Structure 1
Amino acid sequence: MDYQLIRDRIDKLVARVNEIGGEVQEVIIEEPASLEQILQIEEQLGMKLPHSFKMVLTEFSSNFSLRWFLPEELEPPEEFKFIYCGMPHWGLELLPQFEEDRLGWIETVFPNPSDDYDAVWHHKLAFCEAGNGDYLAFDMAKGDDAPIVYLSHDDGEGHGYVMANNFLELIENWSKIAFVGNIDDDWLPFTTSPESGIIGDGEVAKRFRSWMGLNS
């Protein structure tokens, strides 16, 4: 994984958002985690973290957060009408709280693993809040390098969609579309089916980068 390329995309995005009068509230890229820190969290969670997620945590950053917003007066094209910000984040120390939250949703709202909608919430590991009660999560039933799926609490269109086949693929493709907001309305335009994942090199992504002025 070319982490410098990810940093370069972030730098270009931050510069562009500022240039067009938007707001960048936060850019956090903390030092990588140690294997000991990861083992402590795995013990606390009672499960092993997905392979590529551990790679990113130990090679790139243990705690990452980026918050940017387009200027209110900027009107996007119709196909990007829901996109106004980006708020990707992950943090090793945040995982226990996110997992507690996910289990809370299962206990109170989605308890039935035999129900198709409820089942999406089961056997997952949440790592990113969407900001509206939804989560990005690893599908822990799919092997040691789990795909990333979207968990919606209120019938969101993206519920159960695969966002990427693993964490490295997620940050590669998500960074190509400016880490657009975590809510499914924001990234669904860059998918073609519930299994396609975010397509960072597709025609829609190219149009988005052109509109955002991120091609140069």
Structure 2
Amino acid sequence: MEINKFLSKWEQILHKLNSNNGKVFPIEIGKRATAQEITAKEKELGYQLPPSYKHILLNLGKSLSFYYSFSNDTMIPSEFKEIFSGEINWNIDFLQNLDTLADELMEDGEDYGKTLRGKLEFAHAGNGDVYAFDMSVEGEEKPVIYWDHEDDSVTYIADSFIDYLFRITELACIGSEKWQLEYFLSDTGLVTTSSAAIKWKNWFNSFSETMLDDVKNDMEQLVAFVVYRKKLDEKEINYLQKFNRKVLFDFLLKELHKKEVLNNQRIICEIIGRVLGDYVETWVKSLWEDKKTVIDTRLRSCLTSMCMSKDEGLSLVFNFLEQVSNKQISGYEALSHLGDFHSRDVISWMEGHVKFPVTEGWDELFFRSNFSWEELERWTMLEEKHEVTVIHALEKYVHDTVSNNKHPHDILTIPTKLEFIDFLVNLRGKQVLKRRVMPIENVIQNINIFY
């Protein structure tokens, strides 16, 4: 009866995920074990298998696996942000007496793996951690533990194998990595009745994949939808622009100051910039006037690129970079402040600041600043660092075009295909290092994408 309940519940969980565009793998169950197979396995391992584990092997299957992961458009509550999938697996053939592994680690002279002694592995997590029985505990049934390979620590999961199946199933089979389980762990193992567990179960039972049509008329939900997906498309922009600008801006400001993760702050700034634009220009200017910057300076530069005039905005960012860096500006720093301007004026400024290694941001910045054919030619006649910047920027142009099936930008005054090839062949002939020759050859092979 309990086996049928497990199977029914697991199928319900997978059906729930499948109905909401999650990634679902059907349950795979091996043949039932025979008493002879179990006896042989116990002799091989030097341990008697726990009764509830043997019961499952004999009456359900000697192996089982199923896995699911949530759709990217499923908005999992922020307090459970580390949960992304569910999994259960075991296989009688993978049973391992971990004393052997502990001995091997000891022979290597490592003070590591001592907690493996007296453990019998029956499954492992996707990150390499281990699920095992603690065979050192008295009694026929053995508790299920989780061994963390990073710090050689043991976490109590459940009182027995059948208890583990009940608990993990009650929690919608989340895991198998420890960081997905931690919301529900205590000294007595997985807890299914805590306030966190109840909230999780209620959410899981009622959740559905969130679609744009579901939230387009609710400002707060629409913003949450965009922040969760870290993606702002034209459709979302159009819907956001229908709300009162002041109400929207006030709400976004509150959200901006509530978020602690830079990526969440960045997407909110993108909403402010792309949806409200010059409506918030005065506010963006005030960010430069306030000596105590209330947001990350990189986000301030991003907002400046979208909400202020190009000339005024670039002047502010250029001055800021030169002051704080004492003119020793790194490529990544320049990219983080100037990459959103997509301006050829940035290339002129770069000319006096670019330095090796150019692949640490400078090539990306050149690429994102809408370079023209004139700049390509001129930079290859400057210093070596400028020439190498061009080589890797062209490589990025090819990669981005192939990946997105469209040009990042049209190259102004681009010559004929034959002239472009001649330019690349000459550029290749000047190179000594293979790591510079290969990108040029790749551009030559993909020359058609420029036209």
Identify if the C-alpha distance between structure 1 residues 13 and 106 changes in structure 2 by more than 3 Å, giving closer, same or farther: farther
Q: Which position in structure 1 is the counterpart of 2:142?
A: 146
Aligned residue type for 1:66 = F
Q: Which position in structure 1 is the counterpart of 2:9?
A: 9
Q: Which position in structure 2 is the counterpart of 1:196?
A: 188
Q: TM-score, normalised by structure 1?
A: 0.85
The one of 153, 166, 174 equivalent to 1:172 is: 166
Identify if the C-alpha distance between structure 1 residues 17 and 45 changes in structure 2 by more than 3 Å, giving closer, same or farther: same
Identify if the C-alpha distance between structure 1 residues 111 and 82 changes in structure 2 by more than 3 Å, giving closer, same or farther: farther
Aligned residue type for 1:151 = W
Q: Which position in structure 2 is the counterpart of 1:209?
A: 201
- Report which of the two has the higher share of strand: 1
Q: CA deviation at 1:214?
A: 6.0
Q: Which position in structure 1 is the counterpart of 2:85?
A: 85
CA–CA distance in 2 between the matches of 1:33 and 1:21?
A: 35
Q: Which position in structure 2 is the counterpart of 1:23?
A: 23
* Identity score, percent: 25
Q: Which position in structure 1 is the counterpart of 2:127?
A: 132
Q: CA deviation at 1:60?
A: 2.2
Aligned residue type for 2:144 = I
Q: Where does structure 1 lack aligned partners over 5 or more consecutive residues?
A: none
Q: CA deviation at 1:87?
A: 2.1
CA–CA distance in 2 between the matches of 1:208 and 1:88?
A: 18
Q: Describe the superposition over 1:59-101 as per-residue Cα deviations: whole angstroms up to 9, x where unpaired.
A: 22211101111112323212211111112101112214xx47x
Larger radius of gyration: 2
Question: How many residues are treated as equivalent by the alignment?
Answer: 206
Task: Name which structure has the greater RCO, CA cutoff 8 Å, separation 6+.
Answer: 1
Aligned residue type for 1:103 = T
Q: CA deviation at 1:58?
A: 1.2
Contact 1:87 1:180 (8 Å CA) reproduced = yes
CA–CA distance in 2 between the matches of 1:65 and 1:27?
A: 6
The one of 130, 139, 162 equivalent to 2:156 is: 162
Contact 1:124 1:141 (8 Å CA) reproduced = yes
Q: CA deviation at 1:181?
A: 1.5
Q: CA deviation at 1:105?
A: 5.7
The one of 103, 121, 140 equivalent to 2:116 is: 121
Contact 1:190 1:202 (8 Å CA) reproduced = yes
Q: Secondary structure at the match of 1:88?
A: strand
Identify if the C-alpha distance between structure 1 residues 148 and 73 changes in structure 2 by more than 3 Å, giving closer, same or farther: same
Identify if the C-alpha distance between structure 1 residues 56 and 110 changes in structure 2 by more than 3 Å, giving closer, same or farther: farther
CA–CA distance in 2 between the matches of 1:110 and 1:17?
A: 46
Contact 1:110 1:121 (8 Å CA) reproduced = no
CA–CA distance in 2 between the matches of 1:29 and 1:67?
A: 13
Contact 2:101 2:116 (8 Å CA) reproduced = no
Identify if the C-alpha distance between structure 1 residues 10 and 110 changes in structure 2 by more than 3 Å, giving closer, same or farther: farther
Q: Where does structure 2 lack aligned partners over 5 or more consecutive residues?
A: 208-451
Q: TM-score, normalised by structure 2?
A: 0.42
Aligned residue type for 1:120 = T
Contact 2:105 2:113 (8 Å CA) reproduced = no
Q: Describe the superposition over 1:153-208 as per-residue Cα deviations: whole angstroms up to 9, x where unpaired.
A: 1138xx311100111100001111111111111111112x2x21112233322211
Aligned residue type for 2:133 = F
Contact 2:171 2:192 (8 Å CA) reproduced = yes
Aligned residue type for 2:88 = P
